[in-house]
Chain A
């Protein structure tokens, strides 16, 4: 018997007449199962390639070797080994670069997004600089700022600033005509319109810029360390690859990805806290 709106008992319709949406078993697998399956498949292909012997172990270490290195590096870091200082240096570089890129990107974004002068006179130059390959500036930063952490911070900041500028400026243009008219009819000043309407409306765009920037600072910091004789994690990778220790390289990259993920997630959490009202405040949307 099925429940009916009038409380009367009716016979259930014969199964052949019931339309059931056909979702394949493939799409009904729980997420953790499918994610694990992909990971296992990846490991199997990796191990298989390794066992055929077609690729030299110097070029492609086995999953086992990599796991061993992962343990080694993790143990070294947890017990205060020699890798802790490089990790700290890279972390510092990335954090400083992210703070600077956010500050500079936001300020320039407001300048080009809010003022006609900025949009007309400053934006073209920013676009021109943005099209340049930014990594090519690394030697200049080293010449200007030396081999210390400063030149790496500069490169990472340089790379991460542009998406934040674009995100901020796009956000300031996101408010619709009605919202602008409403603020005008309420007699709001330009400053009030910016603070109370345009900036909050643009928050999702700003955070999208921050997310792209947070990935950029990692790339900038490591590239800077490669090219500028840094003392950070990038240097450990450079040394390991010079020694043809590819398993070590793999494990170091994986630890770096944890740092990148941590920064990215902190942006996502901040966004969830402040832009709770927007649908973009979830992990999958950017």
Chain B
């Protein structure tokens, strides 16, 4: 992999965090070959995206990585240990914030702690949760219930919940695709800041080319039936990325390249 390291001095050790080898997934009953020989290495502190049309198997890939579904064949290694089920060092986010309406924001955020270590540990984690809320710009909303939050605020609270258990990798399943475009751009910049601050390894599933390019070090283009990587595009824009970069020729060229790959995949 020729990931452009010069933009990321922090990641120059390039320690592999996630290693997928020959991952296949068949749904025998429906006769679908969802994933075909997927090989993937995520190095520490990198941000990678997988992009593809709906139903190309990218969500299946994410579920396998998260340990929610077993692969039909192949291996998934995280931090040198095989993924054989869900793990504490994985943080996940979905398209919906999935906050629980009977818990206020603070209680929602410490939920992972409460489940892992009990109510007392959750109480003790309130301090950390408040710090995360401050980082996400939600100070003052600790005791508000989720149905009073806007979509963007709810997703920010979901980010805090994902981070509270201090996962080493973040798996993001179209986390901002339900938001309007202005909020989404803002949230993407926030996500970048959070990932850079913590040197987090992140893997994003998306169907927005712009979003993939502005956030990622590497973009994997996926084609459907069977779902496989058809191209690995290294994004060599400097970090930190800004929204202004979206108007540069380099950004446009990368978007064009990915789009042509997607079109080819769609016609094939």
Contacts and interface: CB of A to CB of B under 8 A. Distances in A.
Interface of A: 176, 178-179, 181-188, 192, 196-197, 200-201, 275-278
A187 B237 CA distance: 37
Interface residues of B, number: 25
Contacts of A196: 111, 114-115
B90 interface: yes
A3 B96 CA distance: 40
Contacts of A187: 86-88, 115-116
A178 B86 contact: no
B68 A185 contact: yes
A181 B94 contact: yes
Interface string B112-156: 101110000000000000000000000000000101000000000
Given A192-B115, A277-B145, A277-B147, A185 B90 contact: yes
Interface of B: 63, 66-68, 86-88, 90-92, 94-96, 98, 100-102, 111-112, 114-116, 145, 147, 165
Contacts of A185: 66-68, 86, 90-92
Contacts of A178: 94-96, 98
A274 to B, nearest CB: 8
User: By CB atoms of chain B within 10 A, which of A184, A201, A276 has the most?
Assistant: A184
B86 A184 contact: yes
6 contacts: A181-B66, A181-B92, A183-B115, A185-B91, A186-B111, A277-B101
Contacts of B95: 178
A182 B94 contact: yes
Contacts of B114: 196
B98 A277 contact: no
A278 B101 contact: yes
A263 to B, nearest CB: 25
Nearest to A278: B101
A277 to B, nearest CB: 4
Contact of A200 (B91, B94, B102, B147): B102
B108 to A, nearest CB: 11
Given A186-B165, A277-B101, 10 more contacts: A182-B94, A184-B68, A185-B67, A185-B68, A185-B86, A185-B92, A186-B112, A200-B100, A275-B102, A276-B102
B115 A182 contact: no
Contacts of A179: 98, 100
Contacts of B101: 277-278
A89 to B, nearest CB: 39
A217 B92 CA distance: 46
Contacts of B102: 200, 275-277
A200 B111 CA distance: 14
A66 to B, nearest CB: 46
A187 B66 CA distance: 11
A181 B95 CA distance: 12
Nearest to A179: B98
A182 B86 contact: no
A277 B108 CA distance: 14
A186 B94 contact: no
Given A188-B115, A196-B115, A182 B145 contact: no
A184 to B, nearest CB: 5
Contacts of B165: 186
A196 B111 CA distance: 9
